[in-house]
Copies of this chain bind each other. A is one copy, B any other.
Amino acid sequence: MQLKAKYIDMETAEYTCVLHVDDAKEMGVREQDRVRIKHERSAVVTLVHTTDTVVQPGEVGILGRAYVELGPEPDEVIEVVATSRPAAVDFIKKKMAGKELSTSEIRTIVNDIADHSLSNIELTAYVTSLEINGMNIRETADLTSAMVETGEVIKFDRSPVFDFHSIGGCPGNKITLLVVPIVAAAGLLIPKTSSRAISSAAGTADIVEVFANVDLDSNKLRSIAETTGGALAWGGSMNLAPADDVIIRVEYPLGIDPHAQLLASVMSKKKAVGAEFLAIDIPVGEGTKVPTMEKAQAFAKDFVELGELLGMHVEVAITYGDQPVGRAIGPALEAREAIRILEGDPHPSSVIEKAAGMAGIVLEMGGIQGGELRARELLASGKALDKFREIVAAQGGNPDIRSEDIVVGEFTYDVKSKMSGYVNAIKNKQLVRLARAAGAPKDKGAGILLHKKKGNRVGEGEPLFTIYADNRAKLERAIELSRKMDPITVEGMILAKLPYVSKSTVIERSFCPVPSEHQAE
Interface residues of A (CB under 8 A from B): 8-13, 18, 25-26, 28, 30-33, 49, 51, 53-54, 61, 63-64, 85, 89, 93, 96, 98, 119-122, 124-125, 128-129, 131-133, 249-250, 252-256, 436, 442
Contacts and interface: CB of A to CB of B under 8 A. Distances in A.
5 contacts: A9-B54, A28-B442, A53-B64, A125-B254, A129-B132
A121 B124 contact: yes
B128 A33 contact: no
Nearest to A119: B253
Contact of A253 (B32, B54, B252): B32
Contact of A256 (B10, B33, B53, B93): B93
A316 to B, nearest CB: 25
Contacts of A64: 53-54
Given A252-B30, A253-B33, A53 B121 contact: no
Nearest to A47: B253
Contacts of A93: 254-256
Nearest to A52: B11
B96 A132 contact: yes
Contacts of A32: 249-250, 252-253
Contacts of A63: 10
Contacts of A18: 10
A93 B257 CA distance: 12
Closest CB pairs A-B (n = 3): A32-B253, A124-B124, A128-B128
A129 B12 CA distance: 26
Contacts of A28: 436, 442
A54 B125 contact: no
Given A18-B10, A131-B96, A121 B120 contact: yes
A132 B250 contact: no
Contacts of A96: 128, 131-132, 256
A197 to B, nearest CB: 11
A293 to B, nearest CB: 20
A28 B465 CA distance: 23
Nearest to A131: B96
A308 to B, nearest CB: 30
A253 B85 contact: yes
Contacts of A129: 128, 132
A11 B199 CA distance: 30
B252 A53 contact: no
A133 B252 CA distance: 22
Nearest to A253: B32
A402 to B, nearest CB: 29
Given A11-B49, A11-B51, 15 more contacts: A10-B10, A10-B54, A10-B61, A32-B253, A85-B253, A96-B128, A96-B131, A120-B121, A122-B254, A124-B124, A124-B125, A124-B128, A125-B128, A125-B256, A129-B132
Contacts of A254: 89, 93, 121-122, 125
- Which of A26, A30, A120, A132 gathers most chain B CB within 10 Å? A132
Contacts of A85: 253
A61 B10 CA distance: 9
A30 B132 CA distance: 25
Contacts of A33: 253
A32 B120 CA distance: 11
A9 B7 CA distance: 11
Given A26-B442, A125-B254, A98 B51 contact: no
A463 to B, nearest CB: 26
Nearest to A85: B253
